[in-house]
A = this chain, B = another copy of it.
Amino acid sequence: MSPILQGTELIQFLENNSPEKIKEVLEHVHPADILDALEDYEGNPLLILARIPNDVLVSIIEEAEEEDKNDLLSLLPHEQKKEVISEMASDELADMWEYIDEDEAELLISAMEESKAEELKALLQHDPETAGGIMATEFVSVSDQMSVKQALEYLQKHGDDAESISYLYMLDIEGRVHGVVSLRDIVTSKFDVRLSDLANPNVITVPTDMDQEEVAQVFIKYGFSGVPVVDEAHKMVGIITADDVLDIVVDESTEDIERMSALAHGEREYLESGVLNLAKRRIFWLLFLMISATFTGIIIEKYEVALSSTIILAAFIPVLMDTGGNAGSQSATLVIRGMALGEISMKDFFKVLYIELRVSLLVGGVLAGVNWLRIGLTSMHEDKWLLGFTVSAAMFVTVMIANLVGCVLPLLARRFKMDPAIMASPVITTIVDALALLVYFGIATSLYIK
């Protein structure tokens, strides 16, 4: 079943109904659908926003992409903006904070409740791409001496304020977690059971400075719906929930895919990016790689004399370059993705190298063989078998070099704290092209060119 109201129908509904009716119906419309309708709306969004109750506005703004939250917020009159901000979760505020200008930010902080302002300032200390940067500070802590019934009564009073109540945490006097009980265990147990009988003392936590990609790996491995975040003193300072992680996994994959295709990261969706922005994201890497590729040209120039006497050699440059590039990008991709998923690490360096060496012998052998046969059987040249052997020998060596370069560079990138995804297809191809031509002309001048 699709949503009851969406798109223009939703807008029309908002335009034509009383505040009471709107309040009643919007309770059952998902904020993501209202956001979609607003984004597609061509008129003045202020007219529509003015008809939406504050609590729904809060959900809509929380639903929006980080870079869009402030755009929505800035449409509101100052008083309403303050009200909406006072109802927003602290982690949502922190997410949008970098998009607010300084004067505005100070004004808003001074209008906040003091405890909230403190919380926000604490959150802003963390790198946005770490556990501390994505956590929410609203979690539920309980005593393990409570009964199930007492816990439920506690949730009836205080559960609304928490980001997630899927897990309740037991803290010691220093604020360190010493137990966790899931809401599921609570509601499937009799009212008089003690939480201490349900609690798991083995709580897996993540430190505030853990990279968000590693946080995602914890969720992928354990299938948790929430994980506590602790500071250096092991004090629990927040929680991260599974729905945050879903967004992170999508974003990190998108970023990796973009890097692997020599694209700078973009904040906005393709269709909403604008031509200038899309061009900017491409031009740096294209220029860099174009300049790099001129070295390959220099190699050809160096062999100009050899080439002009046996011009047929030029015909095999593309197939050598392409095959080398493809082989290199295959092994680079496997290693990059393996590292992103936590399956390969630096300690596997020589294991990976040995695997790629053997794979390249197999793959290079097959490719060289097929290539030799094809040239031998279809070429018109009189010395076609020797010509084919020359090209195929170069191909074999090229594939071997490509596979090794393809696996070594991403591993080295990680070693030097760079994103391995940078060392993908485009960079590998450019390097392998130059090496392939060196090998090709090296073999050709000793075997083929008299």
A429 and B160 CA atoms in complex are apart in Å by: 55
Q: Is A269 an interface residue (CB 8 A)?
A: yes
A160 and B203 CA atoms in complex are apart in Å by: 22
- A363 in contact with B32 (CB, 8 Å): no
Expressed in whole angstroms, the minimum distance between the Cβ of A7 and any Cβ of chain B is 14
A289 touching B322 in the complex, CB below 8 Å, given contacts A222-B32, A261-B330: yes
- A315 in contact with B297 (CB, 8 Å): yes
Q: Is A433 an interface residue (CB 8 A)?
A: yes
A330 and B283 CA atoms in complex are apart in Å by: 10
A residues contacting the other copy or chain, number (CB 8 A): 125
- A429 in contact with B322 (CB, 8 Å): yes
* The residue from B159, B165, B188, B291 contacting A159, defined by CB atoms under 8 A apart: B188
B-chain residues with CB within 8 Å of residue A332 when the two chains form the complex: 261
Copies of this chain, how many? 2
Looking at A44-52, A72-80, A117-125, A304-312, the stretch in contact with chain B turns out to be A304-312
- B293 in contact with A322 (CB, 8 Å): yes
A202 and B24 CA atoms in complex are apart in Å by: 13
A363 and B27 CA atoms in complex are apart in Å by: 48
- B160 in contact with A188 (CB, 8 Å): yes
* The residue from B286, B290, B374 contacting A294, defined by CB atoms under 8 A apart: B374
Identify the closest chain B residue to A152 (Cβ): B187
Q: Is A190 an interface residue (CB 8 A)?
A: yes
Q: Main SS of the interface on chain A?
A: helix
Within 8 A of B (CB), among A246-300: 246-247, 249-250, 253-254, 256-258, 260-263, 269-271, 275-276, 278-279, 282-283, 285-287, 289-291, 293-294, 296-298, 300
- A296 in contact with B271 (CB, 8 Å): no
B-chain residues with CB within 8 Å of residue A225 when the two chains form the complex: 225, 242-243
Within 8 A of B (CB), among A83-104: none
* The residue from B166, B334, B430 contacting A322, defined by CB atoms under 8 A apart: B430
- A1 in contact with B334 (CB, 8 Å): no
- A290 in contact with B371 (CB, 8 Å): yes
B-chain residues with CB within 8 Å of residue A200 when the two chains form the complex: 27-28
A196 and B283 CA atoms in complex are apart in Å by: 57
- B187 in contact with A155 (CB, 8 Å): yes
A250 and B242 CA atoms in complex are apart in Å by: 14
Q: Is A2 an interface residue (CB 8 A)?
A: yes
B-chain residues with CB within 8 Å of residue A362 when the two chains form the complex: 275-276, 279, 283
B-chain residues with CB within 8 Å of residue A261 when the two chains form the complex: 260, 329-330, 332-333, 424-425
Q: Is A112 an interface residue (CB 8 A)?
A: no
Expressed in whole angstroms, the minimum distance between the Cβ of A349 and any Cβ of chain B is 12
Q: Is A337 an interface residue (CB 8 A)?
A: yes
B-chain residues with CB within 8 Å of residue A358 when the two chains form the complex: 275
Interface string of A306-349 (1 = CB under 8 A from B): 01100110111111011101110110111101100101100010
Expressed in whole angstroms, the minimum distance between the Cβ of A350 and any Cβ of chain B is 12
Q: Is A234 an interface residue (CB 8 A)?
A: yes
- B325 in contact with A254 (CB, 8 Å): no
* The residue from B63, B257, B370, B429 contacting A256, defined by CB atoms under 8 A apart: B257
- B219 in contact with A246 (CB, 8 Å): yes
Apart from A32-B221, A318-B437, 12 more pairs, CB < 8 Å:
A1-B203, A30-B204, A30-B222, A223-B246, A253-B253, A260-B333, A269-B338, A271-B344, A275-B359, A290-B322, A296-B322, A317-B317
- What are 15 A-B pairs at a CB distance below 8 A? A152-B152, A183-B184, A223-B246, A253-B253, A254-B337, A257-B333, A261-B330, A263-B330, A270-B335, A278-B334, A283-B367, A285-B330, A290-B370, A314-B314, A329-B425
Q: Taking beta carbons and an 8 Å cutoff, which residues of A are in contact with B?
A: 1-4, 27-30, 32, 63, 152, 155-156, 159-160, 165-166, 177, 183-184, 186-190, 200-205, 219-223, 225, 230, 234, 242-243, 245-247, 249-250, 253-254, 256-258, 260-263, 269-271, 275-276, 278-279, 282-283, 285-287, 289-291, 293-294, 296-298, 300-301, 304, 307-308, 311-312, 314-319, 321-323, 325-327, 329-330, 332-335, 337-338, 341, 343-344, 348, 351-352, 355, 358-359, 362-363, 366-367, 370-371, 374, 424-426, 429-430, 433, 437
